[in-house]
């Protein structure tokens, strides 16, 4: 409902934008003094006695002050007026005969409840609005040396009246919030009707009702039924409304869940007591109905009834009107207050003759009054002390963290992380602190938005505007209920649409729409926003720890060069075609990244009793995650339990992830995957984000149903910014990326449905420096650089540069290199019918090795394998390096590869040389080893080792089990000829085993090497171990925070203890020195080693006695 005043405010703001908006107190009134918080529920006159004040803790409550702004919900629109900070309210003080405020005395104040009533001139009735977030209102009380703000009096007896008021408008409503029908949106319903419960009776009383005016009844009802169903509404036994509501489309999950009717009718005012009766007529046994609310508008005689009576008269309103109000059944002890401005009520001086009170007032606008006796006052509830706070005095900051008080320590830890690592200014506040200063203590989404807007409005230029907002706490579609199970730690903005699944959503964008003409969901995001959906301290700690790892050099690695696209099948190949477009975009604009594709329809679909499945897709996705990928982009179907109808990734997969040093960002605009606000469950997106051992570092994902086309548009906009830099050359942070993408999407549907779970101030793990190829040369006769042929010996050199194209000559480290064969063409299988699609992918590696960087330059060589594809096209070199505090990447695709075999290459008919060991190089085939043992393979070939995935994989066969070992092979530094495999055999069965290793060289010569070993280690799973007279114990194991290794040596020996991860890579050397005989103790600390939950291995080398022990971190 828009009023004249509303449009006047818009005009004033347009002409004088600083007149009404952007003016904020320098300090909050709560910044000093002793403060107590009070709670009220109903509107009316409240009494606080002297004794009450003493019991609250005021030892000498002489000068009492009450502050509060009433409990009405704040407007969602920025342009609408709201009070800044707390407003002092006038009070009436009863000091008794001695005129000293002391025992037996009291104060009175007018308390405004949480229900708002407005007169709708179009509908010709008063309409109510309940508070979406609170049933209660709050006031604040203090005592100081300043005189009380006592209520002033007004006397209109000299006014000349032109209206006489002897009747008034009254209204009542019934609305309870019991059911959110689709657990989404801001609309809640009350009483539930079905075939068993068909009747509801609600009594109301309007004392001295005016029979000459009809009562106006408004009913808001809903039904869910496959056929039309109906309600009848009776008042005192007479039919007033007969409401039929159309059938619901029960077969469509996108159709409205229920249909509604809002109906208004009049009926005669025959009695002050009115019984409203609802009868529901279900169409069948499954039909359901709900009452949202009912309103009653009536007129009453202006006669005092009860101990307090509010009154107003819409008929008295008019330009130039002066009204005389005549109140019957009165006496001299009554008080009349003008509460038109409920924050500054006025005491009305009146005339009384016999039992009739008369007073005059200007009624050019609607005036509201309360008349009350000196009995039966309302009494506020004492909530507790309020610590001094002063959010209004906080400095301008880059990053605002709003955290639930349970997570304040973790929020401060995150703030320090950004202060120290990013030189950011960060403030951390709680919702309660915001509510106290911006919504008079009541929970309100607009209060949080207004708090952020204060800094936005105060900014003098873009440099000191707030840039990021983090909501540190889970949210709930139920913003009202306070319970142990509800997760409304930080309020959610729920859409007005609450019945149609495709139009209902929760969004955090609301908090970022900060311009004066914005609000609700209208406008463009002005800052980046993210949320941590944590429900307890452990989850909060885990998320912060993941961010610490992500920001540290422990997460450096060539996995940061990978970008993975996953596409669903079905829907006429729409998801694969869209993924192809996005993949091509990145491959074209950012070729330094290696695009990996996992398209469901490219894999064999398997039929099971439970339905169709793609086990190979699941394996491929998990492999990508374990190997590491900067980003995963999924397009297709999904739900809150996983991805795709076939659940190629389900909750068990998500919770088993252990990629803590390779955390990825996930973009998935699929339906419901990120439904964070249903407190009855953890969605798949939440579990992926909250996994303490791995999963994602952030998700950009949908909370509700989405449509694929607008989702793809938003997805595409995202990659306009993901790899971009800001105006000073810095990498954009997650909040920037998603803000810009959403703003680029304009008024696109679906975009409010998508939220960021993650830290908006976090930078993606995109390498900072650039690797540039300076020369590619071949070392073979008859070699030309226009096309590199098979068996050509190639040497590549390059340099490291910064973003300003300067050579970085202080880099002395290791560069990791992958050389790819040309792109290969693939076709999908049309598993679900339709047409297959063709796509290409550059994934076949012809070389993967390491070289030294010296003063910012490097060089390496390799021989191109014989079995590359012979067609001619562009190859690619992918680079990655890292130092202690910075990393870099690059690419080169300037060369072509193929065209046959280099005829001048040396002849090589000899396969690789393989040395195989278990645990150490003193191993002899047939030796006895433990259940957990390390395979060591040392491989050499003068022509290099073939790692092409063309059937010539490096593979092993343990008894009858084939193991592909490409990912466990690493070349020695500065060599393409020699390398090593480390692979852990875990939980080997007792008895004799045989292992065969198969390796090919670049000329396709094969070598097979076989060893046998005997497993007899009945004590390997025990914590007390006696190994060849070396006794040691690990306790506890498994462990949570720390464990102890205690060992006893029989003689002096060189000891080396190493920590190894699941891939066989060494993570740390825990001990390495000569030890004397006797007992020794070593402590392992989970935090110091940056360990997350999972399985590790300890390598023990006691003077050529080498064995392994599993270590479990919880």
pLDDT at 793 over 70: yes
Q: Residues of the chain with pLDDT > 70: what percent? A: 95
pLDDT at 48 over 90: yes
The pLDDT tens digits for 917-947 are 998 888 888 888 888 889 999 999 999 999 9
Q: What is the mean pLDDT of residues 489-508?
A: 97
Residue 514 within any structural domain of the chain: no
pLDDT at 254 over 90: yes
* Higher-pLDDT residue of 62, 826: 826
Where is the domain boundary, 280, 300, 320? Answer: 300
Residues 555 and 605 in one domain: yes
Least confident of 436-445, 631-640, 984-993: 984-993
pLDDT at 396 over 50: yes
**What HEC string does 33-62 produce?**
CCEEEEEECCCEEEEEEHHHHHHHCCCCCC
Give me the residues paired with residue 1068 across strands. Answer: 1059
Give me the residues paired with residue 918 across strands. Answer: 920, 935
Instruction: Return phi, psi of residue 377, to 5°.
Output: -70, 155
The pLDDT tens digits for 1042-1074 are 888 877 777 777 888 888 886 667 788 888 888
Q: Which two tokens stand for residue 805?
A: 């194209």
Q: What is the mean pLDDT of residues 781-802?
A: 84
Q: What is the mean pLDDT of residues 627-653?
A: 95
pLDDT value for 1093: 75
pLDDT value for 1056: 84
Residue 15 within any structural domain of the chain: yes
Residues 970 and 923 in one domain: yes
> What CATH number should be reported for the domain holding residue 1037?
2.60.40.1930
* Chain centroid to CA 575: 25
Query: CA 1112, CA 1114: separation in Å to the nearest integer?
Result: 6
* Higher-pLDDT residue of 1030, 475: 475
Q: What is the mean pLDDT of residues 735-750?
A: 94
Question: Which of 700, 635, 691 minimizes the C-alpha distance to 660?
Answer: 691
Residues 141 and 181 in one domain: no
Confidence of residue 1025 (pLDDT cuts 50, 70, 90): very low
pLDDT value for 19: 36
Residues 191 and 72 in one domain: no
Least confident of 57-71, 781-795, 851-865: 781-795
Residue 723 within any structural domain of the chain: yes
Residue 835 within any structural domain of the chain: no
pLDDT value for 951: 67
pLDDT at 682 over 80: yes
Q: Please count the residues of the chain.
A: 1114
Query: CA 1062, CA 1112: separation in Å to the nearest integer?
Result: 11
The pLDDT tens digits for 132-150 are 999 999 999 999 999 999 9
Residue 1062 within any structural domain of the chain: yes
Confidence of residue 11 (pLDDT cuts 50, 70, 90): very low
Mean residue pLDDT across the chain: 92
Instruction: Return phi, psi of residue 496, to 5°.
Output: -65, -35
Is the Cα dihedral 111, 113, 116, 119 positive or negative? negative
Residues 146 and 177 in one domain: no
CB atoms within 10 A of CB 920: 14
Residues 672 and 719 in one domain: yes
Collapse the DSSP code of 601 into the 3-class scheme (helix H, G, I; strand E, B; otherwise coil) and give the result.
helix
Residue 48 within any structural domain of the chain: yes
* Higher-pLDDT residue of 517, 1093: 517
Where is the domain boundary, 949, 982, 1015? Answer: 1015
Helix, strand, coil content of the chain in percent (nearest 5): 15, 40, 45
Q: What is the mean pLDDT of residues 994-1020?
A: 86
Least confident of 7-21, 210-224, 385-399, 968-982: 7-21
- In total, how many domains does the chain have? 6
pLDDT value for 1039: 83
300 near 170, Cβ under 8 Å? yes
Domain span at 273: 170-300
pLDDT at 863 over 90: yes
* Chain centroid to CA 254: 25
Least confident of 666-675, 687-696, 731-740, 1103-1112: 1103-1112
Residues 149 and 25 in one domain: yes
pLDDT value for 1017: 58
pLDDT at 608 over 80: yes
pLDDT value for 25: 96
Residues 541 and 579 in one domain: yes
Q: What is the mean pLDDT of residues 570-589?
A: 96
Confidence of residue 780 (pLDDT cuts 50, 70, 90): low
791 near 863, Cβ under 8 Å? yes
pLDDT at 1022 over 50: no
Confidence of residue 13 (pLDDT cuts 50, 70, 90): very low
The pLDDT tens digits for 321-358 are 999 999 999 998 999 999 999 999 999 999 999 999 99
CB atoms within 10 A of CB 45: 23
Least confident of 243-247, 386-390, 897-901: 897-901
> What CATH number should be reported for the domain holding residue 174?
2.60.120.260
Q: Residues of the chain with pLDDT > 90: what percent? A: 80
> What CATH number should be reported for the domain holding residue 998?
2.60.40.650
DSSP labels, 933-956? EEEEEEEE-TT-B---SSS---EE
Residue 413 within any structural domain of the chain: no
pLDDT value for 782: 53
Query: CA 1095, CA 986: separation in Å to the nearest integer?
Result: 11
Residues 143 and 242 in one domain: no
Question: Which of 361, 316, 315 minimizes the C-alpha distance to 339?
Answer: 361
pLDDT value for 9: 44
Q: What is the mean pLDDT of residues 1074-1100?
A: 81
pLDDT value for 751: 94
Least confident of 162-166, 381-385, 562-566, 672-676: 672-676
Confidence of residue 887 (pLDDT cuts 50, 70, 90): very high
pLDDT at 1018 over 60: no
Collapse the DSSP code of 448 into the 3-class scheme (helix H, G, I; strand E, B; otherwise coil) and give the result.
helix
Strands across the sheet containing 137-143: 88-89, 64-67, 137-143, 35-40, 381-386
Residues 308 and 279 in one domain: no
* Higher-pLDDT residue of 1021, 1031: 1031
The pLDDT tens digits for 455-489 are 999 999 999 999 999 999 999 999 998 888 999 99
* Higher-pLDDT residue of 788, 232: 232
Q: Which two tokens stand for residue 379?
A: 């009494």
Residues 564 and 691 in one domain: yes
pLDDT value for 1061: 80
Q: What is the mean pLDDT of residues 193-203?
A: 98
- Which spans in 554-648 are helix H? 574-589, 615-627
pLDDT value for 1021: 35
Confidence of residue 870 (pLDDT cuts 50, 70, 90): confident
Query: CA 998, CA 1014: separation in Å to the nearest integer?
Result: 21
pLDDT value for 1103: 67
Residues 567 and 691 in one domain: yes
* E strand or H helix at 611: strand 611-613
Residue 468 within any structural domain of the chain: no
Where is the domain boundary, 731, 757, 783? Answer: 757
Q: What is the mean pLDDT of residues 789-802?
A: 94
899 near 870, Cβ under 8 Å? yes
Q: What is the mean pLDDT of residues 41-45?
A: 97
Query: CA 884, CA 879: separation in Å to the nearest integer?
Result: 17
> What CATH number should be reported for the domain holding residue 639?
3.40.50.1460
Angle (CA) 222 226 231, round 5°:
40
pLDDT at 765 over 70: yes
DSSP labels, 1029-1075? TEEEEEESSSBSSEEEEEEEESS-EEEEEEEE-TTS-EEEEEEEEEE
DSSP labels, 165-186? E-EEEEEEEE----B-TTS-SS
630 near 764, Cβ under 8 Å? yes
Question: Which of 980, 975, 849 minimizes the C-alpha distance to 917?
Answer: 980
> How many angstroms separate the Cα of 608 from the Cα of each of 619, 645, 685, 831?
17, 14, 26, 15
């Amino acid at each position: 409902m828009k009023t004249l005043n509303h449009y006047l405010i818009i005009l004033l703001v347009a002409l004088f934008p600083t007149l009404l908006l952007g003016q904020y107190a320098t300090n909050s009134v709560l910044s000093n003094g002793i403060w107590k918080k009070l709670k009220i529920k109903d509107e009316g006159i409240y009494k606080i006695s002297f004794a009450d004040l003493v019991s609250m803790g005021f030892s000498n409550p002489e000068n009492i002050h009450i502050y509060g702004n009433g409990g009405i919900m704040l407007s969602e629109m920025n342009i609408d007026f709201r009070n800044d900070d707390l407003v002092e309210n006038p009070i009436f003080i009863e000091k008794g005969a001695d005129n000293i405020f002391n025992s037996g005395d009291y104060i009175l104040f007018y308390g405004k409840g949480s229900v708002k009533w407005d007169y709708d001139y179009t509908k010709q009735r008063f309409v109510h609005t309940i508070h979406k977030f609170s049933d209660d209102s709050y006031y604040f009380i203090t005592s100081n040396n300043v005189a009380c703000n006592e209520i002033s009096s007004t006397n209109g007896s000299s006014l000349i009246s032109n209206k006489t008021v002897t009747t008034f408008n009254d209204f009542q409503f019934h609305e309870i919030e019991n059911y959110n029908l689709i657990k989404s949106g801001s609309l809640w319903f009350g009483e539930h009707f079905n075939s068993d419960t068909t009747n509801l009776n609600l009594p109301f009383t309007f004392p001295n009702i005016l029979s000459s005016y009809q009562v106006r009844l408004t009913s808001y009802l809903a039904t869910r039924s496959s056929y039309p169903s109906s309600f009848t509404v009776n008042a005192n036994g007479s039919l007033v409304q007969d409401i039929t509501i159309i059938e619901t489309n029960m077969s469509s999950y996108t159709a409205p869940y229920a249909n509604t009717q809002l109906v208004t009718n009049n009926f005669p005012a025959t009695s002050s007591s009115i019984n409203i009766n609802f009868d529901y007529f279900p169409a069948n046994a499954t039909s359901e109905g709900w009452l949202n609310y009912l309103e009653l508008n009536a007129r009453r005689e202006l006669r005092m009834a009860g101990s307090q009576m509010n009154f107003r008269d819409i008929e008295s309103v008019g330009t130039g009107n002066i009204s005389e109000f005549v109140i019957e059944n009165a006496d001299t002890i009554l008080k009349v207050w003008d509460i038109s401005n409920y924050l500054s009520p006025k005491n009305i001086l009146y005339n009384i003759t016999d039992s009739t009170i008369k007073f005059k007032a200007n009624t050019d606008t609607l005036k509201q009054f309360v008349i009350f006796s000196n009995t039966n006052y309302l009494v506020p509830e004492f909530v507790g002390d309020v610590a001094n706070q002063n959010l209004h005095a906080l400095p301008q900051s880059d990053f605002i963290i709003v955290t639930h008080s349970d997570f304040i320590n973790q929020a401060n830890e995150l703030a320090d992380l950004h202060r120290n690592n990013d030189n950011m200014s960060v403030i951390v506040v709680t919702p309660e602190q915001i509510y106290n200063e911006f919504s008079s203590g009541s929970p309100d989404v607009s209060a949080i938005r207004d708090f952020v807007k204060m800094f936005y409005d105060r900014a003098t230029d873009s440099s000191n505007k707030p840039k990021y907002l983090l909501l540190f706490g889970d949210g709930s579609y139920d913003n009202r209920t306070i319970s142990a199970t509800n997760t409304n730690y930080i309020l959610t903005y729920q859409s007005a649409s609450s019945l149609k699944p495709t139009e209902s959503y929760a969004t955090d964008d609301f908090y970022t729409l900060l311009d004066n003409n914005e609000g609700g969901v209208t406008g463009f995001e002005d800052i980046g926003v993210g949320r941590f959906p944590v429900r307890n301290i452990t989850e909060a700690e885990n998320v912060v720890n993941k961010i610490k790892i992500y920001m540290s050099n422990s997460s450096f690695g060539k996995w940061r060069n990978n970008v993975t696209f996953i596409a669903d099948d079905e829907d006429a190949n729409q998801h694969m075609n869209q993924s192809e477009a996005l993949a091509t975009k990145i491959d074209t604009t950012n070729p330094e990244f290696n695009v990996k594709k996992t398209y469901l329809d490219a894999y064999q679909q398997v039929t099971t009793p439970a339905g169709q499945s793609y086990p190979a897709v699941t394996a491929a996705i998990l492999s990508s995650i374990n190997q590491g990928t900067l980003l995963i982009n999924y397009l297709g179907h999904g739900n809150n339990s996983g991805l795709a109808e076939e659940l190629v990734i389900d909750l068990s997969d998500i919770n088993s992830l252990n990629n803590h040093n390779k955390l990825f960002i996930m973009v998935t605009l699929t339906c419901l995957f990120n439904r964070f606000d249903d407190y009855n469950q953890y969605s798949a997106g939440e579990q992926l984000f909250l996994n303490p051992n791995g999963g994602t570092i952030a998700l950009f994902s949908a909370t509700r149903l989405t449509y694929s086309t607008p989702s793809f548009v938003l997805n595409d906009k995202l990659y306009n910014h993901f790899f971009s830099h800001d105006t000073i050359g810095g990498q954009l942070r997650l909040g920037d990326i998603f803000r810009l993408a959403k703003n680029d999407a304009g008024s696109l549907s679906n975009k409010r449905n998508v939220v960021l779970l993650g830290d908006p101030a976090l930078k993606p793990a995109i390498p900072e420096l650039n690797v540039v190829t300076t020369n590619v040369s071949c070392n073979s006769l008859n070699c030309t650089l226009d096309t590199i042929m098979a068996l050509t010996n190639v040497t590549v050199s390059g340099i490291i540069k910064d973003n300003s194209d300067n050579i970085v000559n202080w880099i002395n480290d290791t560069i990791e290199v992958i050389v790819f064969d040309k792109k290969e063409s693939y076709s999908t299988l049309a598993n679900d019918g339709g047409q297959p699609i063709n796509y290409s992918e550059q994934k076949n590696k012809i070389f993967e090795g390491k070289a030294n960087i010296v003063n910012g330059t490097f060089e390496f060589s390799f021989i191109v394998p014989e079995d590359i594809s012979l067609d001619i096209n562009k190859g690619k070199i992918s680079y990655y390096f890292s130092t202690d505090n910075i990393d870099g990447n690059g690419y080169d695709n300037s060369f072509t590869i193929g065209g046959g075999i280099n005829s001048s290459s040396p002849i090589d008919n000899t396969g690789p040389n393989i040395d195989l060991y278990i645990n150490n190089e003193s191993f002899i085939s047939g030796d006895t080893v433990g259940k957990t043992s390390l395979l060591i393979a040392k491989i050499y070939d003068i022509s290099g080792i073939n790692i092409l995935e063309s059937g010539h994989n490096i593979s092993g066969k343990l008894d009858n089990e084939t193991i592909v070992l490409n990912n466990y092979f690493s070349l020695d530094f500065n060599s393409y000829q020699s390398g090593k495999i480390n692979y852990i055999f875990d939980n080997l069965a007792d008895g004799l085993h045989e292992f065969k290793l198969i390796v090919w060289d670049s000329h396709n010569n094969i070598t097979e090497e076989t060893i046998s070993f005997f497993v007899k280690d009945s004590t390997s799973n025990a914590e007390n171990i006696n190994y060849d007279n070396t006794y040691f114990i690990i306790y506890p194991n498994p462990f949570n925070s720390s464990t102890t290794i205690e060992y006893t040596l029989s003689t002096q020996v060189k000891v080396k203890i190493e920590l190894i991860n699941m891939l066989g890579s060494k993570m740390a050397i825990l001990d390495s020195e000569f030890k004397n005989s006797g007992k020794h103790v070593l402590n392992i600390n989970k935090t110091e080693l940056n360990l997350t939950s999972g399985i590790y291995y300890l390598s023990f080398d006691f003077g050529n006695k080498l064995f392994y022990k599993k270590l479990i971190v919880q």
